[in-house]
């Protein structure tokens, strides 16, 4: 039973091993790496032996064998479309273990596990919000879960001990645990993750048949809105299929709103510019202003309220280094940064987000050091 | 006549003054600041005297008066819905001047100018691709146009000298001039700018009525896709109304593609997961993969082919400075950077984009200096 001092953080490790991780992809391998580093005994099982072997080589644990010790916790980290079957099998195979899964959809898995008559008291779903544009064991890293939300989704029969074990697991890997019901979780991720993914992909898809000269006019706005369109289609198809009902409802809301704008665009009326068209676009954009302002900032809870300082950065080796060294010397912290650039640019603009009451002071200090502030 | 050495760049200034800028907002004031710095005599006229006074205070030129010298070039930098009227009036008022406008839609303005029977030989449209999420004189800066595409849109009657004057103007302000027909321009910006803006706003609008607990699960993907949703509704309503036909066509293409996915989501069939649903999502996402790969990178022309190095960055003052100083000391240039963070995070991940043949060397050098590379 591992309940030792953590060599990583110096705090107590709460997770009780041995832990069996089923599925050694990005999430499973990353979890194994972190728990192994904490001293928890971890075993891995994957339908592809080469995958679990790679994960073990990367420090994620040992390959599961017939005579491996009985796990106290089983984590199913397979793709979402096979997670329910694996949870059901694990609840049967290990009658004393707590069983969880880390799939990004929860209701459909819970329904299947319940329907199979499996022991729901030992099952508790999880969703560590720690995906990346890339998937696969090779991209695993022990700090994948660090500071990410880790959603715990108990069912009506889940025992309190299983929920507590999930809180310990989340805290051990550096995540921020929070508890939601399966339906609330699925509705939330449809809104903040699945629908944005589909919309970004569909938007980028329009570029596939564009004239090359059109793409030459692309700016940062297009790059930002389509960045996640480079995500893995197979993985996302499984996620979205597993949350079809909520995604359908949210995407229908989006489509209905878009239909208002589209109707106004296609029936502009006689006047130029059409008052109804201007009204429809303005209304949609105002709602967008309100919506984007509700997204929590870096430290959660409240929307971002940082002030922005823009500094001109010539495109030369070491320039950014000198800039951030200069910032560091002021002792003022950068809350966020972004480098803005354009095709063929000889320099970029570094956008530094700063606490409002430090911004003027930082701008002044940087200007004294010879940096050009282009707006603040 | 200004044709002097540039105090900014040391190269010859091509723009022949005096220049009259009509509309002293973000674009007009920024243009005035840059041209004034180059030694070109600039005059400003705005329907709000306080606006032109502010622009003049910021170094954008002098307020236009009855006895000001006859302009050789008139730049209409008003909102797009009043640009045509201003162009028509300027062509009449100054019968020897070249007249341009900087509105982000071109066909509708050209059509109105032609319909008014104005002198098309002296009119040439422009579109400097240099907008920001913010508008207004107060955000003007002399380097707003630096390294941005500057689209020149002549009509059939435009004299060669007027096109050359626009090339000079674009080069003088540091932009990258390119020439497009009005229809091609409008179709291109509908695709790479206007439709992404509407889609981002409509997506963010869905958040306006979301449960607070849903927003707590927001990640970087949502932040990126909705960033431009904070743009100015009034300005964008005028832009989109001025390009309604092309925006309607492009948005209809998006809506039709989305309808396929939506239909599959709403009619998943008996099997779970539904093969038709998985197929529809996979197809849309693959098209998205192809589309996003066509967006040109930092230096234009070809898509990005950088390798990414991820470095762990504790959330402390000066850490980024030390990191970039370390990078600078290696002499290896950073092509792009992004700071990835989460609510409540004690550290972030700095994603550095590097030329592929320098990436391994940089990662090694950073690790020797004690930085933790979390993936490469």
- pLDDT tens track for A36-92: 999 999 999 999 988 888 899 999 999 999 899 999 999 999 988 899 999 999 999
Contacts with B325 from chain A: Cβ below 8 Å: 321-322, 324-325
Of A210, A317, A318, the CB nearest to B191: A210
Is-contact A343 B176, C-beta < 8 A? yes
Is-contact A215 B241, C-beta < 8 A? no
Structure tokens at A23: 């599925």
Of A189, A197, A226, the CB nearest to B295: A226
Instruction: Give the residue-averaged pLDDT of B228-236.
Output: 89
Instruction: Give the residue-averaged pLDDT of B369-373.
Output: 85
Cβ <8 Å between A229 and B288: yes
Instruction: Give the residue-averaged pLDDT of B309-335.
Output: 75
B360 vs A: CB within 8 A: no
* Cβ-Cβ contacts under 8 Å for A48 (sequence gap 6 or more): none
CB-hemisphere CA count at 13 Å for B6? 19
Give percent of chain A with pLDDT exceeding 70: 86
Structure tokens at A304: 């971002």
Whether A5 shows a pLDDT value over 50: the answer reads no
Whether A29 shows a pLDDT value over 70: the answer reads yes
B250 vs A: CB within 8 A: yes
Whether A137 shows a pLDDT value over 80: the answer reads yes
Of A282, A328, A342, the CB nearest to B321: A328
Estimate the crossing angle of helix B107-115 against helix B80-93, to 10 degrees: 40
Closest approach of chain B CAs to the CA of A243, in angstroms? 9
The 3-state DSSP class for residue A288 equals helix
Tell me which of A314-318, B93-97, B212-216, B312-316 is least confident.
A314-318
**What is residue A143's DSSP assignment?**
T
Cβ <8 Å between A273 and B184: no
| Residue B127, strand partner residues | B151
Closest approach of chain A CAs to the CA of B6, in angstroms? 18
* Residues B211, B92: Cα–Cα separation, whole Å: 57
A323 vs B: CB within 8 A: yes
B259 vs A: CB within 8 A: yes
Closest approach of chain B CAs to the CA of A323, in angstroms? 7
CB-hemisphere CA count at 13 Å for B120? 15
Instruction: Give the residue-averaged pLDDT of A320-344.
Output: 70
Contacts with A276 from chain B: Cβ below 8 Å: none
Is-contact A78 A22, C-beta < 8 A? yes
Most confident of B132-141, B186-195, B220-229: B186-195
Tell me which of B8-17, B306-315, B325-334 is least confident.
B8-17
| Residue A152, strand partner residues | A126, A179
Decide which of B249 and B351 is more confident. B249
A260 vs B: CB within 8 A: no
Structure tokens at A364: 């002044």
**How many CB pairs lie under 8 A apart between chains A and B?**
486
Whether A159 shows a pLDDT value over 80: the answer reads yes
Cβ <8 Å between B236 and A285: yes
pLDDT at A61: 96
The 3-state DSSP class for residue A5 equals strand
Q: Is A271 exposed, middle or buried (0-12, 13-18, 19+ CB in 10 A)?
A: exposed
Contacts with B257 from chain A: Cβ below 8 Å: 202, 205-206
* Residues B190, B202: Cα–Cα separation, whole Å: 16
A143 vs B: CB within 8 A: yes
Closest approach of chain A CAs to the CA of B131, in angstroms? 10
Closest approach of chain B CAs to the CA of A144, in angstroms? 9
Instruction: Give the residue-averaged pLDDT of B9-20.
Output: 80
A368 vs B: CB within 8 A: no
The 3-state DSSP class for residue A154 equals strand
Confidence of residue B131 (pLDDT cuts 50, 70, 90): low
Asked if ipTM goes beyond 0.85, one says no
Estimate the crossing angle of helix B244-266 against helix B195-205, to 10 degrees: 50
H/E segment holding residue A22 = strand A19-22
* Residues A236, A198: Cα–Cα separation, whole Å: 9
Residue with tokens 């950068």: A334
A280 sits in the region (left: phi over 0; alpha: psi -120 to 50; else beta) called alpha
Of B196, B202, B242, the CB nearest to A284: B202
Listed by number, the residues of chain A in 81-140 with a beta carbon closer than 8 Å to a beta carbon of chain B are: 81, 108, 129, 139
The full 3-state SS of chain B, as one line of letters, equals CCCCECCCCCCECCCCCCEEEECCCHHHHHHHHHHHHCCCCEEEECCCHHHHHHHHHCCCCEECCCCCCCCCEEEECCCHHHHHHHHHHHHHHCCCCEEEECCCCCHHHHHHHHHCCCCHHHEEEEEECCCCCCCCHHHCCCCCCCCCEEEEEECCCCCHHHHHHHHHHHHHCCCEEEECCHHHHHHHHHHHHHHHHHHHHHHHHHHHHCCHHHHCCCCHHHHHHHHHHHCCHHHHHHHHHCCHHHHHHHHHHHHHHHHHHHHHHHCCCCCCCCHHHHHHHHHHHHHHHHHHHCCECCCCCCECCCEEEEEEEECCCCHHHHHHHHHHHHCCCCCEEEEECCCCCCEEEEEEEECHHHHHHHHHHHHHCCCCEEEC
Whether A331 shows a pLDDT value over 50: the answer reads yes
pLDDT at B305: 54
Cβ <8 Å between A325 and B326: no
Q: Is the peptide bond before A273 cis (omega within 30 degrees of 0)?
A: yes
Sign of CA dihedral A271, A276, A282, A284: negative
Is-contact B206 A193, C-beta < 8 A? no
| Residue B151, strand partner residues | B127, B178
H/E segment holding residue A43 = strand A42-45
* Mean of the per-residue pLDDT values of chain B: 86
Query: B37, B218, B245: best mutation site toward chain A, by most A Cβ within 10 Å?
Result: B218
pLDDT at A360: 82
CB-hemisphere CA count at 13 Å for A374? 23
* Mean of the per-residue pLDDT values of chain A: 86
pLDDT at B374: 75
Helices (H), chain A: 26-37, 49-57, 80-93, 107-115, 160-172, 182-189, 195-205, 212-215, 220-226, 233-241, 244-266, 275-293, 319-330, 356-368
């Amino acid at each position: 039973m591992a309940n030792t001092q953590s060599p990583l953080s110096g705090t107590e490790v709460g997770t009780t091993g041995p832990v069996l991780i089923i599925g050694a992809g990005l999430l499973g391998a990353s979890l194994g790496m972190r728990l192994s580093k904490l001293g928890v005994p971890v075993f891995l099982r994957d339908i592809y032996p080469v995958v679990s072997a790679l994960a073990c080589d990367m420090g994620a644990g040992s390959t599961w064998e017939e005579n491996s010790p009985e796990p106290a916790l089983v984590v199913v980290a397979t793709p979402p479309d096979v997670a329910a079957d694996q949870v059901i099998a694990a609840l049967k195979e290990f009658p004393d273990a707590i069983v969880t899964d880390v799939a990004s959809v929860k209701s459909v898995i819970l329904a299947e596990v319940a329907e199979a008559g499996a022991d729901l008291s030992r099952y508790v779903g999880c969703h560590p919000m720690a995906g990346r544009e890339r998937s696969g064991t090779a991209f695993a890293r022990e700090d994948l879960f660090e500071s990410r939300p880790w959603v715990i989704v108990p069912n009506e029969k889940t025992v309190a001990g299983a929920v507590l074990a999930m809180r310990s697991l989340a805290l051990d890997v550096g995540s921020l645990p929070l508890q939601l019901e399966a339906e609330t979780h699925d509705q939330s991720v449809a809104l903040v993750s699945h629908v944005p993914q589909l919309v970004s992909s569909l938007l980028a898809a329009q570029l596939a048949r564009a004239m090359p000269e059109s793409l030459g006019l692309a700016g940062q706005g297009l790059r930002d809105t389509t960045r996640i369109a480079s995500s893995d289609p197979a993985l996302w198809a499984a996620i979205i299929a597993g949350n079809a009902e909520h995604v359908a409802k949210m995407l229908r809301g989006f489509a209905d709103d878009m239909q208002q704008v589209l109707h106004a665009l296609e029936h502009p009326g006689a006047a130029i510019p059409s008052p109804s068209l201007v009204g429809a676009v303005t209304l949609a954009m105002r709602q967008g202003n309100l919506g984007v302002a509700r997204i929590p900032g870096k430290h959660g809870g409240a929307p971002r309220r940082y002030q922005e300082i823009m500094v001109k950065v010539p495109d030369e080796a070491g320039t950014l280094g000198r800039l951030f060294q200069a910032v560091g010397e002021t002792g003022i912290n950068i809350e966020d940064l972004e480098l803005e650039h354009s095709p063929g640019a000889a320099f970029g603009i570094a956008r530094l987000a700063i606490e409002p009451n430090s911004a003027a002071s930082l701008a002044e200090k940087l200007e004294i050091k010879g940096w050009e502030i282009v707006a603040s």
